[in-house]
A and B are shown apart, each in its own frame.
Chain A
Amino acid sequence: MIQDKRASLAEAASLVQDGDVVALQNMATQLAPMAVVRELIRQGRLNLGIVGLLAGIPVDWMAAAGVMDRFIGGAVTMEQFGLCNRYRKGVEAGAIRVEELSETAVNARLGAGARNLPFLPTRGLIGTELIGMDPDNLRLIEDPFGGRPVVACRALVPDVAIVHAHRADRAGNVQLEPTAEWPDLGIMPKAANRVIVTVEEIVETEVLRRRPDRTVLPGFVVDAVVEVPFGAHPTSCFPFYGYDSAMHLAWVAAARDDVTTEQFLDRYIREPADQAEYLRAVGGATTMLALERMEHA
Chain B
Amino acid sequence: MDKRRSLVEAASLVEDGATVAIGGLSMNGAPMALVREIVRRRARDLTVVAIVAGMPVDWLVAGGCVSKVVSGLISFEGLGLAPHFRAAVQRGEVEVEEYSEHTLICRLQAAAYGLPFMPTKAGLGTDMISMHPDTTRHEQDPSTGEHYIACTPLPVDVALVHAHSADSQGNIRVDPKLIWMDNEIVNAATTTVASVEEVLPHRDFVAEPHRTTYPRFMVDAVAVAPYGAYPTANFPRYSYHAQFFADYVQATRDPSAWAEFWQTRVVGPAEQGDLLDANGGPNTLIDIAREA
Contact = CB atoms under 8 A, between A and B. Distances in A.
Contacts, number: 58
Nearest to A155: B144
A53 B127 CA distance: 39
Contacts of B115: 121-123, 150
A119 B143 CA distance: 10
A145 B137 contact: yes
Given A123-B113, A123-B114, A144-B139, A118 B152 contact: no
A178 B210 contact: yes
Contact of B177 (A115, A119, A121, A213): A213
Interface in A142-166: 143-145, 147-148, 150, 152, 154
Interface in B116-131: 116-121
Given A144-B139, A145-B137, A211-B176, A116 B121 contact: yes
A286 interface: no
B178 A213 contact: yes
A121 B114 CA distance: 11
B141 A115 contact: no
B120 A117 contact: yes
Interface in B132-166: 134, 137, 139, 141, 143-144, 146, 148, 150, 152
User: Chain A binding site: helix, strand, loop or mixed by DSSP?
Assistant: loop
A121 B117 contact: yes
Contacts of A139: 143
A120 interface: yes
B46 to A, nearest CB: 25
A147 B134 CA distance: 13
Contacts of B113: 122-123
B152 A121 contact: no
B212 to A, nearest CB: 11
Contacts of A211: 176
A128 interface: no
B133 to A, nearest CB: 10
Contacts of A148: 116
Contacts of B211: 178
A43 B68 CA distance: 62
A144 B120 contact: no
B150 A145 contact: yes
A279 B118 CA distance: 47
Contact of B144 (A118, A123, A147): A118
Contact of B119 (A121, A123, A178, A179): A121
A117 B117 contact: no
B208 interface: yes
Contacts of A147: 116-117
A148 B117 CA distance: 10
A211 to B, nearest CB: 7
Contacts of B146: 117-118
Interface in A94-131: 115-123
Interface in B239-287: none
B116 A150 contact: yes
A274 to B, nearest CB: 33
Contacts of A122: 113, 115
B152 A145 contact: yes
Contact of A145 (B117, B141, B208, B210): B117
A148 B134 CA distance: 16
B234 to A, nearest CB: 15
A138 to B, nearest CB: 11
A211 B211 CA distance: 13
Given A122-B113, A145-B137, 14 more contacts: A115-B121, A117-B120, A118-B119, A118-B141, A118-B144, A119-B141, A120-B119, A123-B115, A144-B139, A152-B141, A178-B208, A211-B176, A212-B176, A213-B176
What are the nearest 9 A-B pairs in CB distance?
Answer: A178-B210, A147-B116, A143-B116, A118-B141, A213-B176, A118-B146, A118-B144, A213-B177, A144-B150
12 contacts: A117-B146, A118-B146, A121-B117, A122-B113, A123-B114, A123-B115, A144-B139, A145-B117, A147-B116, A147-B117, A213-B176, A213-B178
Interface of B: 113-121, 134, 137, 139, 141, 143-144, 146, 148, 150, 152, 176-178, 208, 210-211
